[in-house]
């Protein structure tokens, strides 16, 4: 076997290796955190402003009892007209994610039935508006 044949075999093996690696890489599934990741990135300043506004208030309290998860908005907003949503984001399984429109009582509380949520850990992403001010906060929640 001459050196030319050995070189040809090395090139063929190298090409086969590269082809196999490319094939394996193409079979990988890379999911983004969000389907509209880049669009959300462009709206990130709104989130920063919302966090700043929410930090000026007394804070959101999330509690859990036997049948419900309770979200208590800051007392400064009691009785105010609010719109927004509670997004229960499950990092390890997108099918457990839940977006629930805010339905706040006059006392500033919203109850969410636990049977609407899977028993897992969530990141509660809470966004709401009062007048022209936007608010945003995140809290870790574990539904048991």
pLDDT tens, residue by residue, 10-52? 999 999 999 999 999 988 876 666 777 777 777 888 889 999 9
Strands of the 68-72 sheet, one edge to the other: 61-64, 68-72, 109-113
- pLDDT, average across residues 84-104: 89
CATH T-level assignment (fold) for domain 37-142: Immunoglobulin-like (2.60.40)
What pLDDT score was predicted for residue 43? 81
Backbone phi and psi for residue 74, each to the nearest 5 degrees, phi listed first: -55, 145
Contact 91, 123 (CB under 8 A): yes
**Hey, how many other C-beta atoms are within 10 angstroms of the C-beta on 66?**
6
Tell whether the model's pLDDT for residue 131 goes beyond 90. no
C-alpha distances (whole Å) from 74 to each of 17, 60, 88, 133, 136 are 60, 6, 19, 14, 12
What are the tens digits of pLDDT across the range 46-85? Answer: 889 999 999 998 889 999 988 899 999 988 888 788 899 9
Threshold 0.85, pTM exceeds: no
Helix (H, G, I), strand (E, B) or coil at 98: strand
pLDDT of residue 93: 82
Boundaries of every domain in the chain: 37-142
């Amino acid at each position: 076997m001459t050196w030319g044949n050995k070189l040809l075999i090395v090139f063929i093996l190298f090409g086969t290796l590269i082809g196999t690696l490319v094939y394996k890489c193409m079979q990988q599934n890379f999911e983004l955190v969000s389907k509209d990741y880049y669009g959300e990135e462009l709206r990130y300043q709104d989130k920063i402003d919302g966090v700043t506004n929410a930090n000026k208030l007394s804070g959101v309290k999330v509690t859990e009892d036997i049948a419900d998860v309770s979200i208590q908005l800051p007392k400064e907003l009691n009785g105010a007209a609010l719109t927004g949503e509670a997004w229960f984001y499950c990092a390890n399984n997108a099918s457990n994610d839940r977006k629930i429109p805010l339905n706040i009582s006059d006392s500033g509380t919203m109850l969410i039935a636990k049977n609407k949520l899977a028993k897992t850990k969530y990141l509660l992403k809470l966004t709401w508006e009062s007048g022209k001010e936007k608010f945003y906060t995140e809290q870790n929640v574990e539904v048991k």
